[in-house]
C-alpha cells in the first residue's frame, strides 16, 4: 500500500484531497494544526474504507523543528512515504504600504518559508529512500503579479512554483534518484479559505476542483493548471498578455 502525506489536511482542499486519495486506495499521513478536525476526517475515511490506514499529527508548518519531527515520525510510522503534498497555506493579505505588513508577512512565512521547510523535510526522506513524489500546491495567481490584497499571496505562490521547478531541474541530473516533482496550479475552487468571497469568475465546487488536482497528481504531471477549462488557455494567456489586459481577467 502506498502512502501520501498531506499538510493543511484539516479542512478545505487538503481534507478533500485526503477523501479522494483514500477512495483511490492510498493510505494517509495527515497533518494540520487542528487535530480534532483531523480526527473527524480520519473517522469519516475509515468508516467508508475500513482497510485504509490513516495516521495523524498536529503540525504548525511555521515551526521549522516541528515540520522535520512530524515528517520523520510519519516515515517511521509507515516505513516509507511515497508522496508528500505541500498544501498548507494562508490567504491573508492587504495592499502593500497600507499598514498591514503583519498580514502580508504571515502569508509569506506560511506560504513560502514554511513550504521550503516542508520541501527540505520531504526531500530528506526521498533522498534516503531514493524515490518519492513531491507535489507543490501553487495557484493560477502565480502566473503574473497580482494587485491589492492578492499581491503577497501571488508572489508566494510564484515562489513555490520556482522552488518546485528548481528541484525538478536538479532531479533531471540525478539518474540514481527516482524523485518526481509536480506543481499544481489550482484555479478558483470553493473552500473555507474563500467561502466569503463573492462574484468570483469560473469558480467550481470543492469536490470538482480537487478531483482535477488529484488526477494531475496521479498522472505525476510536472505542471498542471486545474481544472483544465478554462485555466489551461487562461494561464497561457496570462503569461503573455499585456498587464492592462491581465487586470481585466484577474
Task: Take residue 106 and report the three cell numbers written for it.
Answer: 504571515
Q: How far apart are CA 71 and CA 4, in angstroms?
A: 11
Q: How many CB atoms are located within 10 Å of the residue 189 CB?
A: 25
Helix (H) or strand (E) holding 103: helix 101-108
Dihedral angle sign, alpha carbons of residues 214, 220, 222, 228: negative
**Catalytic site includes residue 185:** no
Query: Catalytic pick from 101, 153, 185, 188?
Result: 153
| Pairs from 15-19 (Cβ < 8 Å, separation ≥ 24) | 15/41, 16/206, 16/207, 16/210, 17/85, 17/87, 17/210, 17/213, 17/214, 18/45, 18/54, 19/44, 19/45
242 alpha carbon, distance to own chain's centre: 29
**Could you give the CA distance from residue 137 to residue 117 in angstroms, rounded to a whole number?**
14
Active site residues: 153
Amino acid at each position: 500500500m502506498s502512502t501520501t502525506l498531506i499538510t493543511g489536511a484539516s479542512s478545505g482542499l487538503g481534507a478533500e484531497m485526503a477523501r479522494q486519495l483514500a477512495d483511490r486506495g492510498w493510505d494517509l499521513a495527515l497533518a494540520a494544526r487542528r487535530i480534532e478536525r483531523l480526527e473527524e476526517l480520519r473517522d469519516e475515511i475509515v468508516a467508508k474504507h475500513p482497510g485504509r490506514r490513516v495516521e495523524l499529527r498536529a503540525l504548525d508548518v511555521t515551526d521549522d523543528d516541528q515540520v522535520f519531527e512530524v515528517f520523520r515520525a510519519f516515515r517511521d510510522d509507515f516505513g516509507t512515504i511515497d508522496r508528500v503534498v505541500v498544501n498548507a497555506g494562508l490567504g491573508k493579505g492587504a495592499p502593500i504600504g497600507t499598514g498591514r505588513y503583519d498580514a502580508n508577512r504571515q502569508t509569506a512565512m506560511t506560504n513560502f518559508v514554511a513550504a521550503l521547510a516542508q520541501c527540505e523535510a520531504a526531500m530528506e526522506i526521498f533522498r534516503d529512500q531514493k524515490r518519492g513524489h513531491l507535489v507543490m500546491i501553487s495557484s493560477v495567481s502565480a502566473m503574473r503579479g497580482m494587485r491589492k490584497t492578492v499581491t503577497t499571496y501571488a508572489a508566494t505562490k510564484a515562489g513555490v512554483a520556482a522552488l518546485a521547478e528548481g528541484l525538478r531541474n536538479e532531479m533531471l541530473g540525478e539518474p540514481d534518484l527516482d524523485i518526481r516533482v509536480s506543481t499544481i496550479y489550482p484555479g478558483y475552487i470553493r473552500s473555507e479559505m474563500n467561502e466569503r468571497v463573492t462574484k468570483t469568475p469560473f469558480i467550481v465546487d470543492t469536490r470538482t476542483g480537487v478531483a482535477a488536482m488529484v488526477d494531475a497528481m496521479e498522472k505525476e504531471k510536472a505542471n498542471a493548471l486545474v481544472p483544465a477549462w478554462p485555466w489551461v488557455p487562461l494561464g497561457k494567456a496570462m503569461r503573455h498578455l499585456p498587464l492592462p489586459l491581465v487586470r481585466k481577467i484577474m
